[in-house]
Structure 1
Amino acid sequence: MNDFNIKLLTPNDWALYKSVRLESLLDSPDSFGSTYEQESALSDADWQSRLDLKARGLDAMPLVAQRGGRAVGLAWGVIHAPDVATAHIYQMWVLPAVRGEGIAKALLHEMTAWALGRKCDQIALAVTTSNAAAVRLYQSSGFIAIDQPTPLRNGSVLMVQPMALNLHSVVESTI
């Protein structure tokens, strides 16, 4: 049942973004390159600036999933110039109480549609290898492992596996 909605974050949503991002870092500290300690030290102006995509010259799609007015999921899509053929997914997270309810798949669907609309060839991400549920989600969505795992952060024993989704296969499977 889709009793959630997905919203594109704007600069006016900086407080919502700050809240869900910090919650994600507290809940899943081994899933992100950044840490709660690093990001909780940011000023409100820093949070506002992150969502001011035009001022930053950034082609990005920051999304939040909400249920009953509460943020229950987060994902960022970013296309880094000059490699405009690849869209990247960062900050993917779903509140533990609602995992398995299709929110992550809905966020991935929105990212895929966005990347296709930008004429990207692929979507890339990195997933912590010990997060079996996330690895299964990405594999079931068509992502395949590329390259070798690398440390999550400098000095970390946790590894992340780079993965990619070939968007040409997505288009062909819908024809």
Structure 2
Amino acid sequence: MDAPIIRLLRPDDAGAYRTLRLQALRDHPEAFGASYEDEVARSLDMTARRLDGGPLNCVFGAFAGDDLVGTAGFIVPDRSAKSRHKGLLVGVHVSPAHRGRALGRRLVAAVIDHARAHVVLLQAGVGVANTPALRLYESLGFRQYGLEDKALRVDGVFVDEALIVLDFAGDT
């Protein structure tokens, strides 16, 4: 079997992206800031527009044949003069059937390569109990700079998040 292809998602990938994203939000609500309920209420057109956000708001996808099996996104949420040097790694997910094949690593590496051309800092939040993700990010050069207590509340249970950063300028 050929290795999955990693590429930027386009608006015509919206259906596949929405399906995979809803699966991720349903199966792992503690891993995402978005909720299944909020996302399912969004139209396919809104999803397509999200995938047409330009270089400062984009999603990479991993394709096994024609099937979208993983995603990782990049956004620059604050484009003001004093904050536009910071971007976020978001929405990292690999479908269960395709885990253990370094797809998460390849997706995050694609975001890192892309982000390097646009920001100085790439930040993310990851649940402190998500040891595999924390190990992956650390192996790619991220370091923890903080902890957000009760970052998310999922079904009445609080999730603490490690705040991590990759500094492209090398200043630590």
Rounded to whole Å, the distance in 2 between the matches of 1:84 and 1:62 is 18
Partner of 2:62: 65
> CA, structure 1 residues 132+2, in 2 after alignment: closer, same or farther (shift >3 Å)?
farther
Partner of 1:157: 158
Q: Does 1:110 align with 2:107?
A: no
Where in structure 1 do 4 or more consecutive aligned residues deviate above 6 Å? none
The correspondence of residues 109-128 of structure 1 with structure 2, limited to 5 A, is 109-118=109-118, 120-128=119-127
Partner of 1:172: none
The correspondence of residues 14-163 of structure 1 with structure 2, limited to 5 A, is 14-53=14-53, 59-80=56-77, 81-82=79-80, 83-118=83-118, 120-154=119-153, 156-163=157-164
Secondary structure in structure 1 of the residue aligned to 2:115:
helix
Q: Match of 2:165, as an amino acid?
A: A
Rounded to whole Å, the distance in 1 between the matches of 2:2 and 2:141 is 22
Rounded to whole Å, the distance in 1 between the matches of 2:48 and 2:5 is 22
Cα deviation 1:96-155 (Å, max 9, x = unaligned)? 22222111111121111111222x212100001111111111111111111222323256
Give the CA deviation at 1:168.
Answer: 2.9
> CA, structure 1 residues 109+134, in 2 after alignment: closer, same or farther (shift >3 Å)?
same
Higher strand share: 2
Secondary structure in structure 2 of the residue aligned to 1:161:
strand
Contact 2:51 2:58 in 1 (8 A): no
Q: Match of 2:95, as an amino acid?
A: L
Q: Match of 1:149, as an amino acid?
A: E
Rounded to whole Å, the distance in 1 between the matches of 2:90 and 2:34 is 11
Q: TM-score, normalised by structure 1?
A: 0.85
Q: TM-score, normalised by structure 2?
A: 0.86
Cα deviation 1:71-90 (Å, max 9, x = unaligned)? 11111101231222122111
Q: Match of 2:16, as an amino acid?
A: L
Contact 1:32 1:152 in 2 (8 A): no
Higher helix share: 1
Cα deviation 1:38-57 (Å, max 9, x = unaligned)? 21121222222222315xxx
Rounded to whole Å, the distance in 2 between the matches of 1:36 and 1:95 is 16
Q: How many residues are paired up?
A: 166
Q: Match of 1:64, as an amino acid?
A: G
Rounded to whole Å, the distance in 1 between the matches of 2:92 and 2:104 is 8
Secondary structure in structure 2 of the residue aligned to 1:23:
helix
Identity within the alignment, % = 27
Consecutive unaligned residues in structure 2, runs of 5 or more: none
* Aligned-pair Cα RMSD in Å: 2.1
